[in-house]
Structure 1
Amino acid sequence: MKIRDTLSDAAAMVDSVIDGTRGVLYPARMPQFHRLPPPDAAAELVGWFWIPEWDIEPGRTSRQHIVAFPALNLVVERRGVELVGAATAATYRDLTGRGWAVGAMLRPAAVAALTDDPAALLDTSTKFDAPELHGAVTRAMRAGGDHRHADAVRALTAWLVGRVGEIGPVARQANEMSTILMGDDSVTRAEDVAARLSMSLRTLQRLAHRHVGLAPSAMIRRRRLQEAAQRIREHPGADLAAIAAELGYADHAHLTNDFRVVLGITPRSYRSARE
């Protein structure tokens, strides 16, 4: 089966597992945006591929606010390739003119092949020298047509698989760590993850630092904050104290503090401005 067919068949599956707007604070303001599942060859390397395309009227700007997943992203745009580090706060980007991006949200197993120190990239990015990758993805996107996204993902997948090579046991363990931290709502402490992986808390912390750049506790906080924002957005009449309790916060005040620290606003303010 060709990769484009695999992506077409799997698109609905990723929507059922990952909300396409998870981490996006104001989805109604987003340009055309797609999240595509990785083909089998990249399943251990990429959580999903994301492709925004925009065409903003001259003189106007579209500001996109994101509470990013705690992961690195490899991003190809017209201007080049960037490796974007994990973020510790909400981020935004102002879109103007016409453009596109093809990004891969990297799983921890892919990170070591791209940087020796992911923590050094927290809240920043660096240009990545990959002219062959840039050329292949750019050709796919410029070609247009219904298969441009699948072709761009195929190009990025082929490059990344070749770059990373064989996946070792430590890298797979890092993937498992991330899956638990970001996918299991019952996990509220880093110690819980260490116990599941049969390792010490210090070993878990080193694993997260080497493959993500963030502490395990920070990854848990990001997951809960994303979930809280999504629930507030989708259920504006819901009781904030109940949301805080359901997500494992000690109380409403702790949820409010997380919002203030990461987003710069309170949950009530976000509920009022969610559109």
Structure 2
Amino acid sequence: MGALLRPAAVPPLVDDPARIRDSYRRLALPDLHAAVSAAMRGSDTEIETESGTEIRRTRAVAAFSDWLHARVPTLTDEARLANALADLVEGDSSVLRVEDLATGLGVSTRTVQRLARRYVGLPPGAMIRRRRLQEAAERIRAEPAVDLAAIAADLGYADQAHLTNDFRSVLGHTPSRYRHDTP
């Protein structure tokens, strides 16, 4: 079982989110395992149907949610702001700088930096960079004929070379190579 958590849920479960960033962490949680396993068991009728699979999945999500709610305290304003930070980074492609995040959230750049470190484990600039690279990769997959310079401009890069350098440093190859290797 795996779970992707919103930023507000991270600090109650992990002291330093940067330490586990981009990794899978195996946890020995027998109570959670038992609850999810029980939720996934169903009658023979449920197991054999597509709707049965959905019913079991819904019960498993509810079991995990109940477990999580029992361990994560009521959200503070800061935790809600951390969720808003992640939403803004992921949902607004016009956000290109940390200052854009600060303005969008109505806080200082230092507050944005502190929130990102405590709740995400990444600097806010790196969060923006990831989103831009994900958008670039998606555009290259979805529109193989589109000009890379146009993608770079659309995503706020200074030029195609800047996109290429960023792409290579994070993904290990150029956008052109990615385009060629993507089916």
Tell whether the structures are fold-level matches, with TM greater than 0.5. Answer: yes
More strand by share: 1
* Alignment of 1:139 onto 2:38: yes
**Other-structure match for 1:165:** 73
- Stretches of structure 2 that go unaligned for 5 or more consecutive residues are none
Bigger helix fraction: 2
Considering only aligned residues, what root-mean-square deviation do their CA atoms show, in Å? 1.5
Segments of 5+ residues of structure 1 without an aligned counterpart are 1-75, 77-102
1:181 is matched with 89
> What is the aligned partner in structure 1 of residue 143 from structure 2?
235
Q: Which amino acid aligns with 2:78?
A: V
Which amino acid letter does the alignment assign opposite residue 80 of structure 2?
A: R
Partner-residue secondary structure (3-state), 1:127: coil
Instruction: State the match for 1:33 in structure 2.
Output: none
Cα displacement (A) at 1:236 = 0.6
Query: Which residue number corresponds to residue 60 of structure 1?
Result: none
Letter in 1 for 2:20: L
Q: 1:107: which partner in 2?
A: 6
Give, in angstroms, the shift of residue 197 of structure 1.
2.3
Corresponding residue SS for 2:4:
strand
Supply the distance in 1 between the matched residues of 2:145 and 2:24 (Cα, whole angstroms).
38
Name the structure 1 match of 2:113: 205
Deviation at 1:123, TM superposition (A): 3.6
Query: Larger Rg: 1 or 2?
Result: 2
Deviation at 1:194, TM superposition (A): 1.1
1:217 is aligned to 125
Sequence identity (%): 57
TM-score, structure 1 length as denominator?
Answer: 0.60
Pick aligned residue for 1:252 from 157, 160, 163? 160
Q: Where does residue 30 of structure 1 map in the other structure?
A: none
